[in-house]
Amino acid sequence: MRMAKAGEWVQIHNVLLTARERAVHVPADTRQVPFEMWLKGFLVDDAVQIGDEVTIATVTGRHVTGKLVAINPAYPHSFGEPVPELLAIGRELRALIAEEDSA
Partner 1 sequence: MSGDLSFDAVMARRGQITQRAIGIDYAEFEQSPIAFDYEGLMQKSGYSLEEVQEIQKLTQVGNTPLVELRNVTRLVRKVSRPGKGARIFIKDEASNPSGSFKDRRASVSIYRAKQLGYPGTACASSGNYAAAVASQSAKWGLKCIIVQEVFDSRGLGQPEIVEKGRACEAYGAEVWQLTVGPELFYTFLRLLEETGYFSASLYTPFAIAGVETLGYEIGRQMLEREGRAPDAVVVTHAGGGNVTGTARGLHKAGCTDTQIIGASVDLRGLHMASDHDFNRKSFTTGHTGYGVPFATFPDRADVPRNAARALRYLDRYVLISQGETFFATEMLAQLEGMERGPAGNTSLAAAFCVAREMDRDQIVVVQETEYTGAGKHPSAQLTFARQNGVEIRRGDPADNKPGVAIVIPEHPAQMSVEEMDLDAVRRSYVKHALQRAGEYRLSAADWRFLAEDCGSSVDFVRRAVDALCNA
Residue closer to partner 1 (CB basis): 3 or 13:
13
Residue closer to partner 1 (CB basis): 3 or 89:
89
Query: Helix (H, G, I), strand (E, B), or coil: what is residue 50?
Result: coil
Q: Do residues 19 and 27 touch, judged by C-beta distance below 8 A?
A: no
Task: By CB under 8 A, name the binding residues for partner 1.
Answer: 16-17, 21-23, 25-27, 29-30, 32-41, 58-62, 75-83, 85-86, 88-90, 92-94, 96-97, 99-100
Residue closer to partner 1 (CB basis): 2 or 82:
82
Maximal CA-CA distance, the chain:
74
Residue 50's nearest CA partner among 99, 8, 79 is 8
